[in-house]
Amino acid sequence: MAGKIIIANWKMKLGLGVSIDLAKEIASDLMLDKIGESEVVICPSFIAINEVGKILSPSKIKLGAQDVFWQENGAYTGEVSVEMLQELGCKYFIIGHSERRQYLGETNEMINKKARVILRSGEVPIVCVGETLEERRQGKKDYIIMHQVERALQDVKILDNQEIIIAYEPVWVIGTGRAVEPEEVKYVADLIRKIAQEHYSSKNSLMVIYGGSVDSSNVRAFSERGGVDGFLVGAASLDAREFMKMIDMVAN
Ligand code: PGA
């Protein structure tokens, strides 16, 4: 991809009505061709994916899901498969977000299984990794990131026509409005690329992005000095004007 990728994670923050309104606002503005070379992805809650997808379909904006189950089909009450989400137009799948690791007990093993089924289906996993404040204080940051990346990609060979995104999200900055320095992001992005290297042959198969309190006040600095291929955006993606401003800054 020539430009950067900007992924909106709406989390469990918007119901159907508000999701529709926000999608319309974003799509109408972005249709005016502000995206440039960038790829913009929106990940609504499951209940809004279908309707948001219909609104986005005439635009260049892509659709993603905030999670997915690792089995393709079967008696798994409450779960949603890749195929079901593909039917609604999802191409990107966030897995291993720290909120799921923390509140839902999502383990590296589960994330690995999810990554495999997504790749097998021809879609793009967005694997989230990152250290907690405690781990950082104990000097374990690099180890934690290396471990999470290695386990997520265990026995995975990314083919030349497949793509995977790894999102570095320091757990302690998510939702705080306080991001890390771009130079630190660059250091981690390089580390992730080094670890993931043996899992792919084509350089185009891997993208490393940053997430954690990215907004219009810092996105340019991350874009220029963070050494990343894009961003995973939570809070700042819930405001159409702010989100558009960020896309504009990254794209131009
Ligand atoms: P934030 O969330 O931008 O609100 O910090 C990012 C994320 O959790 O993906």
pLDDT, tens only, 17-68: 999 999 999 998 766 567 888 999 999 999 999 999 999 999 999 999 999 9
Q: How far apart are CA 148 and CA 53, in angstroms?
A: 31
Mean pLDDT of 111-128: 98
Report the separation in Å between the CA atom of 28 and the middle of ligand 1, taken as the mean of its atom positions. Answer: 24
pLDDT for position 32 = 59
250 — phi, psi (to 5°)? Answer: -75, -35
Q: What percent of the chain has pLDDT over 90?
A: 89
CA 99 to chain centre: 13
φ, ψ of residue 12 to 5 degrees: the values are -100, 45
Q: Is residue 226 lining ligand 1, measured as CB closer than 6 Å?
A: no
Confidence check: pLDDT of 146 > 80: yes
Is residue 169 annotated as part of the catalytic site, yes or no?
A: yes
Q: How confident is the model at residue 79 (pLDDT cuts 50, 70, 90)?
A: very high
| Contact call for residues 249 and 216 (beta carbons, < 8 A) | yes
Q: What is the pLDDT of residue 31?
A: 61
Q: Whose CA is nearest to atom 2 of ligand 1?
A: 234
Distance CA 241, CA 49 (A): 21
The closest-lying atom of ligand 1 relative to the alpha carbon of residue 174 is 5
Whether 223 and 6 have beta carbons less than 8 Å apart is answered as no
Convert the pLDDT of each residue in 162-220 to its tens digit: 999 999 999 999 989 888 999 999 999 999 999 999 998 888 899 999 999 999 999 99
Cβ atoms of residues 247 and 40 within 8 Å: yes
Average pLDDT, the chain: 95
219 C-alpha vs ligand 1 centroid, how far in Å?
A: 13
Report which ligand 1 atom has the smallest distance to the Cα of 236.
3
